[in-house]
Structure 1
Amino acid sequence: MTLMTKLLSASAALALTAGAALANPAVLFDLGGKFDKSFNESAYNGAQRWAEETGGSYDEVEIQSDAQREQAIRRFAEAGNNPIVMAGFSWATALSEVAADYPDTKFQIIDMVVDAPNVRSIVFAEEQGSYLVGVAAAMASETGTVGFIGGMDIPLIRNFACGYVQGVLATDPDATVIANMTGTTPAAWNDPVKGSELTLAQISQDADVVYAAAGGTGVGVLQTAADEGILSIGVDSNQNYLHPGMVLTSMLKRVDNAVYDALVAGEDLEAGFNVMDLSNGGVGYALDEFNEALITDEMKAALDAASAAIMSGEVAVHNYNTDESCPVYDF
């Protein structure tokens, strides 16, 4: 083999290796980081499950500010990553700007709809899962007062709250629900100190079960609830393990499945609008060894009955996003 042949051979091998690397999918996490023990971590778990099962690898980024979003999407698209999966509604504006520039790249966004021929949009029926944990909260409460602590005050989080209140009041019409939001900026997703302060304030108003839908802020809610001897409810990921015996349950939002399915599909990812709800396992509640002593047989029967009623259409849980209103709570 001549020197030139060897060089060409090496170049070809290098090109093939580079091409293989460029085919990696990419996962873009939202503010708060992939180990927020909530939404982002659920996305991370889905990506890791895919990697472990297939032996594949994926590229990732944890942004530090909103200003990095468009640059991050373009960087991965230019590098040939496909598909590119974005965890969180806040990616929508940047994706809307970028998607048309890379028609051969498949994108998936979670929690928002971007209408483009190469984008798969995944939304969840958070109100359905939140209704179920509202049922559980009402049945577990001894004071008749329960709380909700949201992250950033946006329609998405109000939908969690509205579903929760509907479940509480359907179970105990005389119950009181206290709802607070952490803030109005993205910093609200990662402020466990504020989450703790809000929890203490709700406890002072007799709340003895508090549901947190606040990303990393929720870690402070669950910690303070446990410290003060009241029950909490986790969100997105199964957070029961964080404080065994003190987390009543967690509202599961299967972001992990949405990410896993996208990576399995790879470059064949189908664009379009998709809803993950109770009927397809997209939302639900967590029952495991860490909370089984808290979920009584009566509670389990009520939760199963509520699930069946929602899936059959007998119970229609109002979605705040449809009209930006909640018929049972005035935000």
Structure 2
Amino acid sequence: MKKIILLGILLSISVFSFKVIMVTDIGGLGDGSFMDGTWSGIVKACEELGIEYEVIQSKEQGDYVSNLSKAAEQADVVFAVGYLMSDAFYKVAQQYPETYFVGIDFDNGTELSNVMTFTFKEQEGSFLTGYLAAGMTRTGKVAIIGGIPIPPVKRYEIGFRAGVKAFNQIHNTNVEVKVVYANSFTDPKKGKELAQALISEKVDIIQQACGGTALGIIEAVKEEDQKLVKSDNLKDLIDYFYENGGYFMLGGDVEQEPQAPGYILASAIKRVDVASYLAVKMAYNGEWAPGNTELGIKENGEGISNMIFTKGIVPDSLICEIEYLIILIKKEEFIIPSSEEELNGMKIKIKF
């Protein structure tokens, strides 16, 4: 009798076991933004549901197919994170029709019953940080450092430039935007070199759209601010910045401010954590919905951080302008450009 009960328990565990595996692109965990944000959503959902989770990190693009295949053989839900994984993702998903596949940051239009993807209106979040940067610069020069110029990153760039352009049109200013690419999401040394070069050209606010490469931007900004403030104490930094300005990075994807309090002015939020959290819950609860979901400000998938350390140095009038723009975007009364052509034709008639 005991053997029968034990067998029943084992069968129950086998039937109801559920596992999620996330496969990273070459960026890997530890970037403090895109990859870490997606992983945090998966971990949160899995721990709430009491299910198993694991991550497989890709070292090179040639690993994508084998890593996704390995994951599909072990898990109920496989996440592929990063635009560079798109081709491998759809190839493997067709080979394992009984496994759920979730793609974060890409959608090639292929419709498969076991595939769910999430894309984002990156231009909306970076529009807000671009507008903030234009309103906060003391030198009249801001910049964005991209990783690899893939479509999501290009939308980041377009949105940031649109935010600066909107501020210029509304306030009749002439803030300049510089755009550079590191051609890597994993090269902090390159990020630091590019940031230092921009700072030498009088750029005082830099938006990151380069994943782990941005860790070098933080280093460059901190070193430059230390020359001015000569203290790493948050109160000393904020007091100095309030009176004199300073050098700042703008974070990307997640609220990066806690990584370097005071040195990161704000972050363009891209809720990859929400997307991954929802996907796990939907798969586990039998609410699977194949197809692509695009998230923007209206869907609370894009936005700007709360500036938990630096809000005090931002004029109230500038914060109010940003909040008003968010309202217009949510009402679809103002559409943020997502292409060069749309950016060139953008005209703002708002007056504050």
TM-score, scaled relative to structure 2? 0.84
Q: Where does residue 46 of structure 1 map in the other structure?
A: 41
Q: Following superposition of structure 1 onto structure 2, how do residues 190-205 of structure 1 map, counting pairs within 5 Å?
A: 190-205=186-201
The answer to whether the 8 Å contact 2:148/2:182 transfers is yes
Give the corresponding residue for 1:308.
Answer: 327
Out of 238, 241, 251, the position equivalent to 2:268 is 251
Instruction: Measure how far apart 1:113 and its partner are.
Output: 0.6
The Cα of 1:57 is off from its aligned counterpart by 2.3
1:85 is aligned to: 79
Opposite residue 154 of structure 2, the aligned amino acid is R
The alignment partner of 1:25 has SS state of strand
Give 1:317 shift: 1.1
Say whether 1:167 aligns with 2:163: yes
Contact kept? 2:192, 2:220, Cα under 8 Å: yes
Range that drifts further, 85-94 or 277-286: 85-94
Q: Are 1:60 and 2:55 matched, yes or no?
A: yes
Q: Which residue of 1 aligns with 2:182?
A: 182
Partner in structure 2 of residue 75 of structure 1: 70
Alignment partner, residue 104 of structure 2 = 110
1:140 paired to 2:136: yes
Deviation at 1:33, TM superposition (A): 1.9
Return the match for 1:95 from 89, 92, 97: 89
Confirm or deny: 8 A CA contact 2:25 2:64 kept in the other structure.
no
**Runs of 4+ with deviation above 3 angstroms:** 8-21, 324-329
2:249 counterpart (216, 222, 232): 232
Kindly indicate whether the alpha-carbon contact (under 8 Å) linking 1:248 and 1:294 is maintained by their aligned counterparts in 2.
no
Q: Distance in 2 between matches of 1:264 and 1:295?
A: 38
Alignment-derived partner of residue 343 in structure 2:
327
Gaps spanning 5+ residues in structure 2: where? 226-246, 346-352
Q: Is 1:215 aligned to 2:211, yes or no?
A: yes
Aligned to 1:270: 289
Shift of 1:48: 1.9
Residue 25 (structure 1) aligns with: 20
Q: Aligned partners of 1:99, 1:284: CA distance in 2, in Å? A: 31
Amino acid paired to 2:63: Q
TM-superposed deviation, 1:146: 0.3
Secondary structure of the structure 1 residue equivalent to 2:185: helix
Q: Distance in 1 between matches of 2:217 and 2:58?
A: 24
User: Which amino acid is 2:343 matched to?
Assistant: P
Out of 286, 295, 298, which is 1:279 matched to? 298
Q: Is the 8 A contact 1:199 1:221 kept in 2?
A: yes
Which residue identity does 1:266 align to in structure 2?
Answer: A
Q: Cα distance, 1:76 vs. partner?
A: 2.0
| Deviation of 1:306 (Å) | 1.2
The amino acid that maps onto 1:232 is M
Q: CA RMSD in A?
A: 2.1
Q: Which of 116, 127, 135 is the matching residue for 2:123?
A: 127
Q: Size of the alignment, in residue pairs? A: 316
How far apart, in 2, do the equivalents of 1:75 and 1:52 lie?
23
* Structure-1 residue corresponding to 2:236: none
Aligned residue for 1:31, secondary structure, equals coil
Q: Which residue number in structure 1 is paired with residue 258 of structure 2?
A: 241
Deviation per CA, 1:151-204: give whole Å up to 9, x if none: 012232111011000101110241110110001xxxx00101100111111111
**With structure 1 as the length reference, what TM-score do the two structures score?**
0.89
Cα distance, 1:128 vs. partner? 0.6
How far apart are residue 16 of structure 1 and its match? 4.5
CA distance in 2, matches of 1:18, 1:27: 21
Whole-angstrom CA distance in 2 between matches of 1:18 and 1:89:
34
Secondary structure of residue in 2 paired with 1:190: coil
